[in-house]
Amino acid sequence: MNNETAFITGSSSGIGLHFAHEFARHGHPLVLVAPVRSELERVANDIESKHGVSAYVVAKDLEKENAAQEIFNELNGHGMRIDILVNNAGHGYRGKSWEIPIEQDISMVRLNIEAVLRLTKCFLPAMVQRRSGRILNVGSIAGFEPGPLLNVYHATKAFVVSWSEALAIELKDSGVTVTALCPGPTDTDFLPKADLTDTRAFQKASVSAPQEVADAGYEGLMKGELFVVPGAMNKAVVAARRLLSEGAQASLNQAFYKKVPSEDQKRERGDFEEAAVASRH
């Protein structure tokens, strides 16, 4: 039984949901955070019955300025210690910059950057004082290059990548580790919500199942690795694009996010996630 309590944002679906099961499978007590309480309670009940660990739920919209502090205060009030902080929640929107409402751009910045900062500011000081703790920030291979048609999302993930690396250096020899998980296209609800299911990013690229991403993230976190890029193709993409000019990177990504003809759309959301479930049974 692992007594390190893991706090996971965005844990009612996608990679966050599979993180919850992966941590629970290894015996970690959980704190699950997402906006809708009924969804969290279903996840918590499922985890407690399958894995026999406690799962405390907190329903909060992390885009709200006070959400992180309110969560921190609630957990402190219950005497709950957070040993592992998993900043997973995030979203993106595809489209031309001049057509996307500013509210959607600000929404991405608030969830993908501000919430990550605020939660880390809340929980990190106690980790440093105890000289033990782990932080897992979910970035993306998008964080390594510019992304026309998804430019604000790419920029938010570039922040996560850069900030995680700098924070890890500050925390060297502190007993606290930082890991940045940087997956490529992953078969979650992020894709339809970001208007990506009919693009080359999903229809033609190498796509991961969220279970595989969660497994890789957990393993890398527990080993104290700084960067985790799941999948051989994603590793190759990151390595290759670091050799290209920014203009070439941007052009490749712009093509990546263009829609493919309907007759060439063979994949549907859930194909890879369901196949991973089937392979494990």
CB-CB contact of 121 with 73 (8 Å): no
In tens, the pLDDT along 82-115 reads 999 999 999 999 999 999 999 999 999 999 999 9
Q: Does domain 6-279 have CATH number 2.60.120.260?
A: no
Dist CA 209 CA 186 (whole Å): 6
For residue 182, the model assigns a pLDDT of 97
266 — phi, psi (to 5°)? -105, -15
In tens, the pLDDT along 266-275 reads 999 999 998 8
- The answer to whether residue 280 scores a pLDDT higher than 80 is no
Each domain of the chain, given as residue ranges in start order, spans 6-279
Q: How far is CA 67 from each of CA 59, 62, 123, 163, 176, rounded to the nearest angstrom?
A: 10, 5, 13, 21, 24
Which of these, 70, 46, 51, lies nearest to 59 by C-alpha position? Answer: 70
Other C-beta atoms lying within 10 Å of the C-beta of residue 8: 30
For residue 281, the model assigns a pLDDT of 64
**Residue 139 token pair:** 């970035």
The catalytic position among 93, 153, 218, 257 is: 153
Stated pTM of the model: 0.95
Catalytic status, residue 218: no
Dist CA 196 CA 45 (whole Å): 32
For residue 1, the model assigns a pLDDT of 58
Which of these, 127, 124, 116, lies nearest to 33 by C-alpha position? Answer: 116
Mean pLDDT value across the chain: 95
> Confidence class of residue 8 from pLDDT cuts 50, 70 and 90?
very high
CB-CB contact of 199 with 260 (8 Å): yes
- The answer to whether residue 215 scores a pLDDT higher than 80 is yes
